[in-house]
């Protein structure tokens, strides 16, 4: 009888450990923050179009729009509207806004009258599958460039969503794409404002 109770406790403990450690979201981040930069002096920022490494042609634009809206909602800085950013890109003669040169960052900063420029790369976006289980996943990296010097003063990445052990065992479908995207952006903003 005692061995049966011990066996059941062991199974419950094992299942609890597997389910609680099975989160697919990564808390690990690669963050760089220039210790000499006074981030409080950044009053306005321009977010350039994100580079899209996914098969979804609109994913980078949706992610950028969500990032801009959530950054603006922090009320920590003014975010230049996308139309103004596009006009600034044209005036600066920026051929590839997803990877501006140091000189183009300086020029764009002067044209848009901002203290910083943010660029981003969308590495993954959409449904991932493993066997019969599927879930939404996003992986995005962003960096802030000081407009006066063109130097990177902050960079971070975030990956959220995916298939966890709980999804595999219980057949869950993961969180909706908009929720996963907001989680990743919240993670990025937490890294910026920490």
**What's the CATH code of the domain at 89?**
3.40.50.10610
Q: Is 56 helix (H, G, I), strand (E, B) or coil?
A: coil
Is 104 inside any structural domain? Answer: yes
Is 9 inside any structural domain? Answer: no
**Are 165 and 19 a contacting pair, CB within 8 Å?**
yes
The H-assigned helical ranges of the chain are 2-20, 59-73, 82-92, 102-112, 165-170, 177-193
Instruction: State the residue range of the domain holding 61.
Output: 34-193
Rounded-to-integer distance, Cα 159 and Cα 107, Å: 32
- pLDDT mean by block of 10 residues, the chain; 194 residues: 51 43 46 90 97 96 98 97 97 94 96 98 92 88 96 96 74 83 97 91
Number of domains in the chain: 1
Is 14 inside any structural domain? Answer: no
Is 79 inside any structural domain? Answer: yes
Residue 130: its pLDDT value, please?
Answer: 78
Is 66 inside any structural domain? Answer: yes
Bridge-partner residues for 127, per DSSP? 136
Which residue's structure tokens are 């580079």? 51
Is 23 inside any structural domain? Answer: no
Rounded-to-integer distance, Cα 160 and Cα 112, Å: 32
Is 86 inside any structural domain? Answer: yes
């Amino acid at each position: 009888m005692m061995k049966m109770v011990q066996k059941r406790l062991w199974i419950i403990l094992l299942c609890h450990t597997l389910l609680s450690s099975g989160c697919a979201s990564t808390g690990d981040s690669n963050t760089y923050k220039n210790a000499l930069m006074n981030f409080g002096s950044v009053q306005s920022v321009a977010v350039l179009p994100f580079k899209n490494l996914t098969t979804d042609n609109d994913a980078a634009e949706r992610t950028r729009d969500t990032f801009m809206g959530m950054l603006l909602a922090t009320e920590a800085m003014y975010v230049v509207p996308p139309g103004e950013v596009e006009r600034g890109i044209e005036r600066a003669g920026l051929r590839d806004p997803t990877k501006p040169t140091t000189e183009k960052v300086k020029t764009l900063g002067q044209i848009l009258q901002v203290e910083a420029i943010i660029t981003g790369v969308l590495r993954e976006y959409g449904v991932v599958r493993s066997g019969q289980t599927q879930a939404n996943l996003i992986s995005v990296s962003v960096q802030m460039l000081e407009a006066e010097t063109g130097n990177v003063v902050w960079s971070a990445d975030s990956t959220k969503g995916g298939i966890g052990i709980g999804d595999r065992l219980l057949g869950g479908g993961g969180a909706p794409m908009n929720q996963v995207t907001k989680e990743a952006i919240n993670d990025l903003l937490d890294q910026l404002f920490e």
